[in-house]
Amino acid sequence: MNVGSLAPLAVALPFLGAAIAFVLIRHPRAQRRVSLGTLTITLALEVWVLAVVWHSGPVAVHLGGWAPPFGIVMVADQFSSLLLVVSSAVSLAVLAYASGQGAADGEESGPVSVFHPTYLILVAGVSNAFLAGDLFNLYVGFEILLTASYVLMTLGGTGSRIRAGITYVVVSVVSSLLFLIAIAMIYGATGTVTLADLAIKLGALDPGTQHLLHVLLLVAFGIKAAVFPLSFWLPDSYPTAPAPVTAVFAGLLTKVGVYAIIRTETLLFPTDHFNDVLLWVALLTMIVGILGAVAQTDIKRMLSFTLVSHIGYMIFGVALSSVLGLAATIFYVIHHITIQTSLFMVTGLIERRGGTSAIMRLGGLAKLSPILAVLYFIPAMNLAGIPPFSGFLGKLGLLQAGVANGSPLAYVLVVGGVAASLLTLLVMARVWNRVFWRSTADAEDPDPVLLASAPVAAGGRSMSALRTSKHVHATEGRFSGENEVPILPKMMVYSTMGLVALGLAMSVFAGPLFDLSEHAAEGMIARTPYIEAVLGSGAGAP
């Protein structure tokens, strides 16, 4: 038996963990252990699956034993198993971070205990979307992760989160409805929703029908991936959520949309009708996104805009529809998942250390907390694409693919990509200069936490030695009283360090990773390995 057929456990295990965590809702410590354990096991399993799939090619699992085009099928090819591993690693780091935060703040009960089950369901939804072998299962995966994300987004139910949450829910529901409409039309036109079967049957349709279905899918996925004209919901809603939630959303949710776009462009509609449109969309996403980031005065909002901007790079690589472009996109996606998440995690730490994430109100953190400075500096330079890092290698691959394409529009995109990269460097450096480099005295209206802890830090032994007392209002019954709260809990710092290290490892092992991406891209452009894995050998031949 092939180990690849264990891939559906990547969906089943987090669900099981979520159920157990939900039963343990009154025992936060056990809950934390269960969810961390579940994700560790899932990650180990996915690494194993990746190791097998790397050599053997795509593996399809027919759930329930129904023959291919009729039953539900789950497919693990190199691309999806690579994404599974990276997404699980990132979500494990964020879960450790959130657990550290919860343990440090003494949240032993209350509404937040729903966090762990919901988080595991989110992970299950993401895995399901990556593994789905048919459109409707992809839709279900999207719905699982979106429903979990609605709950996480509005956790605690404060005014600003409710306001942002409502917009987020409405936009997501509309995009899901568009996706469902596309599924209905595709089923009406072809009589199947299995991706491999569609790959064969869609090509036989009337070109007009094909364009309609193609555009519907692209718009539905474009909203989820936050590409330019459909991206305005993202910087509005993400920054209001709690720090760990924003971190995991930024890393994973938009990438699921990008994943769906890549599948659409390579497997379902390999024709290049809309490549020019996609190139324009990519250019505008990069430029408009980064210009939005330049205007921001809050680190979280600024990062949300850079997130939108960097989605543009991925769309650029997809629209080139060459092996090199696709390989660079795959590499860029896994690089960006790691880096963007670690930046948001560091921002969460900055917010704890400085009491705010408004850039003007912070200062002198490089001296107050050198560890934070290092943790911010590495991923920031990585995101901006400074040479030794993976961000540079990914962008270089994309630019090479653009030059190899040779069309005037591709050259415009190359210039746009370089400009967006420089502007990213600008905003990252501005945060560095103000938050870390200038002295604390220059901060405008600094938060008491930043000032109060300054002398302690000078003589302090380690980051966890730094403590502040936390008054909690008596209105919330069980939280009343005063307790010591470490400003930078060890667990939060270590998990951030782990993820930054993972980002560095991607730079060090960029060679093998890029080989894998190229291997995956070749298979995806050829399409036959995927189709034959699902429908049996001989099916993919045109």
Partner 1 sequence: MTLLLVMGVLYAIGIYLLLERSLTRVLLGLMLLANATNILLLTTGGYAGLAPIFNKGIPATEYNDPLPQAFILTSIVISFAVTAFMLSLIYRSWLLSHADVIQDDREDRRVANQDLFDVEEDSEIAIEISDFHENDQPLESREMIPEVTLKKSTTAHNAHPQPNPPSPKDRS
**Which residues between 299 and 328 bind partner 1 (CB under 8 A)?**
301
Q: What is the closest distance, in whole angstroms, from the C-beta atom of residue 374 to partner 1 in the complex?
A: 20
Report residue 498 as tokens: 């782990």
The CA distance from 151 to 24, in Å, is 19
Nearer to partner 1, 109 or 407 (CB): 109
Does 206 interact with partner 1 (rule: CB under 8 A)? Answer: no
What's the DSSP call for residue 358? B
Task: Give φ, ψ of 467 to 5 degrees.
Answer: -130, 155
Contact 168, 179 (CB under 8 A): no
Among 80, 194, 231, 240, binds partner 1 (CB under 8 A): 240
Which one of residues 45, 243, 268, 365 is an interface residue with partner 1 (CB under 8 A)? 243
Least gap, CB of 448 to partner 1 (angstroms): 6
Where does this chain touch partner 1 (CB under 8 A) — which range of 13-21, 98-106, 197-205, 327-335?
Answer: 98-106
Q: Within 454-527, where are the H helices?
A: 454-459, 490-508, 510-526
Cβ atoms of 41 and 13 within 8 Å: the answer is: yes
Q: Residue count at the site for partner 1 (CB under 8 A)? A: 79
The one segment of 154-162, 249-257, 323-331, 402-410 that binds partner 1 by CB under 8 A: 154-162
Do 265 and 329 form a contact (C-beta atoms < 8 A)? no
Count of other CB atoms within 10 angstroms of residue 278? 22
**Which of 466, 485, 497, 526 is in the footprint of partner 1 by CB under 8 A?**
485
Q: Is 397 in the site for partner 1 (CB under 8 A)?
A: no
Residue 136 binds partner 1, judged by CB under 8 A: yes
Taking the complex as a whole, how short is the minimal distance between the CB of residue 480 and partner 1, in angstroms?
Answer: 11
**Measured distance CA(351)–CA(447) in Å, rounded:** 10
Question: Looking at 165, 257, 364, 391, which residue binds partner 1 (CB under 8 A)?
Answer: 165
Specify the residue for token string 């005065």.
297
| 146-181 CB burial, b ≥16 within 10 A, e <16 | bbbbbbbbbbeeeeebeebbeebbebbeebbebbbe
The nearest distance, CB 486 to partner 1, in angstroms, is: 11
Mark the segment that binds partner 1 (CB under 8 A) among 239-247, 320-328, 375-383, 529-537: 239-247
Stretch that binds partner 1, among 23-31, 74-82, 289-297, 503-511 (CB under 8 A): 289-297
Residue of the chain from 158, 439, 480, 537 that contacts partner 1 (CB under 8 A):
158
How far apart are the two ends of the chain, measured CA to CA in Å? 30
- Cβ of 334: how many Cβ atoms within 10 Å? 25
Residue list 438-467, contact with partner 1 (CB under 8 A): 444-445, 447-449, 452
Our CA angle for 7, 506, 33, nearest 5°, is: 50
Q: 156 or 387, CB closer to partner 1?
A: 156
Q: Does residue number 468 form part of the binding site for partner 1 (CB under 8 A)?
A: yes
Q: Closest separation between CB of residue 292 and partner 1, Å?
A: 9
d(CA 74, CA 59): 8
We find the least distance from the C-beta atom of residue 97 to partner 1, in angstroms, to be 11
Binding to partner 1 by residue 8, rule CB under 8 A? no
Position 291 contacts partner 1 (CB under 8 A): no
Query: Does 133 help bind partner 1 (rule: CB under 8 A)?
Result: no
508 contributes a contact to partner 1 by CB under 8 A: no
Enter the tokens of residue 351.
């917010």
Cβ burial, residue 498 (10 Å; 0-12/13-18/19+): middle
Task: Name the nearest CA neighbour of 305 among 295, 313, 314.
Answer: 295
Q: Of 62, 201, 470, 490, which one interacts with partner 1 (CB under 8 A)? A: 470
Q: Which of 12, 47, 151, 386 binds partner 1 (CB under 8 A)?
A: 151
Among positions 116, 161, 214, 527, the unique one binding partner 1 when judged by CB under 8 A: 161
Q: Which span sits near partner 1 by CB under 8 A: 36-44, 178-186, 381-389, 414-422?
A: 178-186
For partner 1, the closer of residues 51 and 174 by Cβ is 174
List the structure tokens of 13.
């295990």
Least distance to partner 1 from the beta carbon of 339, Å? 23
Sole window of 29-37, 180-188, 329-337, 504-512 interacting with partner 1 (rule: CB under 8 A): 180-188
Asked if 112 is part of the footprint of partner 1 (rule: CB under 8 A), the reply reads yes
Is 187 a binding residue for partner 1 by CB under 8 A? The answer is: yes
22 near partner 1, rule: CB under 8 A: no
- Cα dihedral sign, 187-192-198-202: negative
Q: Is 469 in the site for partner 1 (CB under 8 A)?
A: yes
| 501 CB neighbour count, 10 Å cutoff | 14
Q: Following CA atoms 256, 48, 124, 72 in sequence, which dihedral angle do they give, to the nearest 10 degrees?
A: 80
In whole angstroms, how large is the CA radius of gyration of the chain?
23
Q: Is 98 in the site for partner 1 (CB under 8 A)?
A: yes
**Interacting residues with partner 1 between 335 and 394 (CB under 8 A):** 348, 351-352, 355-356, 358, 360-361
Residue 166 lies near partner 1 (rule: CB under 8 A)? yes
Could you give the dihedral angle defined by the CA atoms of residues 27, 30, 31 and 36, in that order, rounded to the nearest 10 degrees? 160
Q: Going by DSSP bridges, is the β-strand pair 467-472/73-76 parallel, antiparallel, or unpaired?
A: unpaired
From 295, 404, 415, 508, residue interacting with partner 1 (rule: CB under 8 A): 295
Q: Which structure tokens are listed for 403?
A: 């030059």
In angstroms, rounded to a whole number, what is the distance separating the alpha carbons of residues 114 and 130? 25
One-character DSSP codes across 148-202: HHHHHHTTT--HHHHHHHHHHHHHHHHHHHHHHHHHHHHHHHHS--BHHHHHHHG
For residue 140, state whether it binds partner 1 (rule: CB under 8 A): yes
Residue of 454, 472, 526, 539 interacting with partner 1 (CB under 8 A)? 472
Min dist. Cβ of residue 293 to partner 1 (A): 11
